[in-house]
Chain A
Amino acid sequence: MVAVQETVERVRRIDVDQYRYGFETLIESDKAPKGLSEDTVRFISAKKNEPAWMLEWRLEAYRRWLTMTEPTWARVDYPKIDYQDIYYYAAPKPKKTLSSIDEIDPEILKTYEKLGIPLREVAILEGVEPPPGGEQTPNRKIAVDAVFDSVSVATTFQKELKAAGVIFMPISEAIREHPELVQKYLGTVVPTSDNYFATLNSAVFSDGSFVYVPPGVRCPMELSTYFRINERNTGQFERTLIIADKGSYVSYLEGCTAPQRDENQLHAAVVELVTLDDAEIKYSTVQNWYPGNSEGKGGIYNFVTKRGDCRGRNSKISWTQVETGSAITWKYPSCILRGDNSSGEFYSIAISNGFQQVDSGTKMIHLGKNTSSRIISKGIAAGKSQNTYRGLVSAHRKATGARNYTACDSLLIGDKCGAHTVPYVEAKNSSATFEHEATTSKISEDVLFYCVQRGLSEQQATGLVVNGFAKDVLQKLPMEFAVEAQKLISISLEGSVG
């Protein structure tokens, strides 16, 4: 497999501590003063030229946040965060008003080049086998909305999307240009009062993506956002809102990287998805933020609230995630299956190495009749990391005919790490049928020796076994991401054996 081969070469090139995306772009930036107060919220809102209702919404969230306490139930351990020691807003200083992508700061474009994200070109990746049943689409297009620290710097393919009626723009613009849509949906899936981090985000979010797909439209291309944290001590608080109107379809890809830094950086994003009748959203994430060094120093704190609301009949939301980065991951992309016959999916690969701590999973809340959900979780723990799957499946009294299948498998590499499974399965009516399975395994010495005897290095052997272990989920990713994900899996496990 070519991808494996490339992975192998990449692994050879890097050292344990050499985070591939650990570079810093030197550009002037425009920061809000450090710390959080009503003034910070007003500053951000003013920077964005927001209407009064938006400022009010933020302030309400901020006031509520002051009354809340940080959750402690997850199996993660970190020093107390000083919320006054963080910059809540950092934007690259605009040199002038941009009229086309060519005017973007070349430094920023270079950053994206290093990231391997094509801002102008169509991404064509080759040499991988398409997933079974998936068609080979050599000319697939991806529209990229890149978020550099807090501001969307470029949105490509606007024209073609516009022709299809699809709105894809930074949420800061959508607040100004489509206030009726934003007001109708923002905060309806993840209310401002939802949880500590989501409330914080509601107060200080700086940018993110907004997508609206009109009735009956199949979005003509994959939409993609790359998040990247560049500035020192900046929290990144994106807000994403995606609405698939009746009978529409959209696939959204999110990739995240951050430069290597010693300080821990806070990231608290909120993603809200809404599907109306017969609509479908497929949301894929590859997260490879800086995980900290081999002593557990530095890395991103990733406290994210992602939730989809299957509001309409026969609607569908599918989450796929490959989580390899961050020092701490606290993330439960969930589905509220409100519409009758709606369905939710969660496919996850979560890899932890070094001193990483992952507490991730999903919630499938069955409210409508004949709703179904499927959870496939693959946790891989190596080094001295802790990897927890935490998931809730619940069927409410009126959710007759609800069905769920859950499989969570853990793979342990080495005896200094931990793999934990914490499922909550709640049936409140007799016609709900729930099935849950969990297994734990390791890479046996026999398997390693077998591969080594065929000429593979232990690192290659590990990559092969882990990619095999995670295959069911990898196949759910759009092809471009699958390649990236396979490489990442092997890179993340660098230094885990031998």
Chain B
Amino acid sequence: MALLEVRDLHVGIEGCEILRGLDLAVNAGEVHAIMGPNGSGKSTLSHVISGKPGYQVSAGQILFNGEDLLAMEASERATRGVFLAFQYPVEIPGATTMNFLRAALNAQRKARAQTEFSTPDFIKRVREVANSLNIPQGMLKRGLNVGFSGGEKKRNEILQMALLEPSLCILDEIDSGLDIDALRIVAGGINALRSSERAMIVISHYRRLLDYIVPDVIHVMSKGQIRKSGGKELALELEACGYAQFEDAA
């Protein structure tokens, strides 16, 4: 059984259909890349999997560990192990990153009937991960993402991902707004989290990211459907010919 299985998914927003019969299966241990031009429905897919309100699912199914994900509240999906690294992480003035991390981690551990971290253990754990991602301690004491640069926000997303230890990571345009050094750090953080129990879906519009995070499978998306799937060689094909060749396929 695949970890995530999307079957014939049709999704609209405000009456406009965006996903038009999308199929996708991701197994534990795999990294899938979804590539596609702007407006192809990549971000919509990530939002629907993670349960963002405002979308209407008119047909299809999303199964996660064989369970109906669409029937679950967004926070339940999170506690079951679905993690979305946001393209545009939000700012919460006054709520420090540290407090936010603790609230999120303990909420999840509690939902999974795990014991909550003690304060010293929690701080130790956060420090370790933060160091590996080059996140200075000072940043953790500031309001969540407040005054963070684009790169800092993205590193903060990876920090959360590392702490929450999800089984499915969806990375929505994690490379946008990053310079090459920041991209290396972020990709390093992501690669360190690859494991046989965990699956990842890397959404991007640039092939560059795949030089740093090498996927097992690449999907090309256009007009709300997956038009083509293949190995990493597909990236080279895209590089050479662009997305146009997939527009009218299928």
A and B touch in the complex (CB under 8 A): yes
* B75 and A457 contacting across the interface, CB-CB below 8 Å: yes
Contact for A5 among B75, B83, B86, B106, CB less than 8 A: B106
With contacts A1-B99, A460-B107 taken as known, whether A472 is within 8 angstroms of B94 at the C-beta atoms is yes
Number of B residues, CB within 8 Å of A: 36
With contacts A1-B102, A453-B51, A455-B78 taken as known, whether A468 is within 8 angstroms of B107 at the C-beta atoms is no
Contact for B107 among A446, A449, A457, A471, CB less than 8 A: A457
* B90 and A456 contacting across the interface, CB-CB below 8 Å: no
Most buried by A among B53, B100, B116: B100
Q: Is A251 an interface position by the 8 A CB rule? A: no
Give chain A nearest CB distance to B143 CB in angstroms: 6
Give chain A nearest CB distance to B51 CB in angstroms: 7
* B78 and A464 contacting across the interface, CB-CB below 8 Å: no
CB under 8 Å from chain A, chain B span 165-185: none
Q: Is B104 an interface position by the 8 A CB rule? A: yes
B102: A residues at CB distance < 8 A: 1
Most buried by A among B73, B75, B102, B143: B75
* A454 and B90 contacting across the interface, CB-CB below 8 Å: no
* A467 and B107 contacting across the interface, CB-CB below 8 Å: no
CB under 8 Å from chain A, chain B span 5-57: 50-54
Give chain A nearest CB distance to B123 CB in angstroms: 11
Contact for A455 among B52, B53, B108, CB less than 8 A: B108
CB under 8 Å from chain B, chain A span 219-233: none
Complex-state Cα separation, A1 to B90, whole angstroms: 20
Complex-state Cα separation, A476 to B94, whole angstroms: 14
CB under 8 Å from chain A, chain B span 99-151: 99-100, 102-104, 106-108, 111, 116, 119, 143-144
A447: B residues at CB distance < 8 A: 90, 92
Complex-state Cα separation, A446 to B78, whole angstroms: 16
Q: Is A450 an interface position by the 8 A CB rule? A: yes
* A456 and B103 contacting across the interface, CB-CB below 8 Å: yes
Complex-state Cα separation, A315 to B189, whole angstroms: 55
Which residue from chain A places its CB closest to the CB of B76 in the assembled complex? A455
Complex-state Cα separation, A458 to B83, whole angstroms: 17
Give chain A nearest CB distance to B36 CB in angstroms: 22
Q: Is B160 an interface position by the 8 A CB rule? A: yes
* B104 and A454 contacting across the interface, CB-CB below 8 Å: yes
Which residue from chain A places its CB closest to the CB of B141 in the assembled complex? A132
Name A's interface SS: helix
* B164 and A455 contacting across the interface, CB-CB below 8 Å: yes
Complex-state Cα separation, A181 to B100, whole angstroms: 50
Give chain A nearest CB distance to B102 CB in angstroms: 6
* A452 and B78 contacting across the interface, CB-CB below 8 Å: yes
Contact for A454 among B53, B94, B99, B164, CB less than 8 A: B164
Contact for B92 among A445, A452, A453, A465, CB less than 8 A: A465
With contacts A457-B107, A464-B103 taken as known, whether A452 is within 8 angstroms of B94 at the C-beta atoms is no
Q: Is B93 an interface position by the 8 A CB rule? A: yes
B100: A residues at CB distance < 8 A: 451, 454, 464
B83: A residues at CB distance < 8 A: 453
Q: Is A182 an interface position by the 8 A CB rule? A: no
Q: Is A61 an interface position by the 8 A CB rule? A: no
With contacts A452-B74, A457-B75 taken as known, whether A446 is within 8 angstroms of B90 at the C-beta atoms is yes
With contacts A1-B102, A5-B106, A446-B90 taken as known, whether A454 is within 8 angstroms of B78 at the C-beta atoms is yes
Q: Is B84 an interface position by the 8 A CB rule? A: yes
With contacts A1-B102, A4-B103, A450-B86 taken as known, whether A456 is within 8 angstroms of B75 at the C-beta atoms is yes
Complex-state Cα separation, A447 to B144, whole angstroms: 11
Which residue from chain A places its CB closest to the CB of B101 in the assembled complex? A454
Complex-state Cα separation, A407 to B250, whole angstroms: 59
Hey, what's the 0/1 contact readout for A113-144 against B, CB within 8 Å counting as 1? 00000000000000100000000000000000
Q: Is B229 an interface position by the 8 A CB rule? A: no
Complex-state Cα separation, A445 to B83, whole angstroms: 18
A450: B residues at CB distance < 8 A: 86, 89-90
Which residue from chain B places its CB closest to the CB of A457 in the assembled complex? B75
Give chain A nearest CB distance to B101 CB in angstroms: 9
CB under 8 Å from chain B, chain A span 52-69: none
Q: Is B95 an interface position by the 8 A CB rule? A: yes
Complex-state Cα separation, A51 to B158, whole angstroms: 72
* A1 and B103 contacting across the interface, CB-CB below 8 Å: yes
B86: A residues at CB distance < 8 A: 450, 453
**Can you show 13 pairs from A to B with CB atoms below 8 A apart?**
A2-B119, A127-B119, A445-B53, A447-B92, A453-B74, A455-B104, A456-B104, A460-B107, A464-B99, A468-B93, A468-B95, A469-B94, A471-B94
- Residues of chain B whose beta carbon lies under 8 Å from any beta carbon of chain A: 50-54, 73-75, 77-79, 83-84, 86, 88-90, 92-95, 99-100, 102-104, 106-108, 111, 116, 119, 143-144, 160, 164
Additional pairs, 5, CB under 8 Å, beyond known A5-B116, A453-B52, A455-B75: A453-B50, A453-B75, A467-B95, A470-B94, A472-B94
3 tightest Cβ-Cβ pairs between the two chains A and B: A468-B94, A468-B95, A471-B94
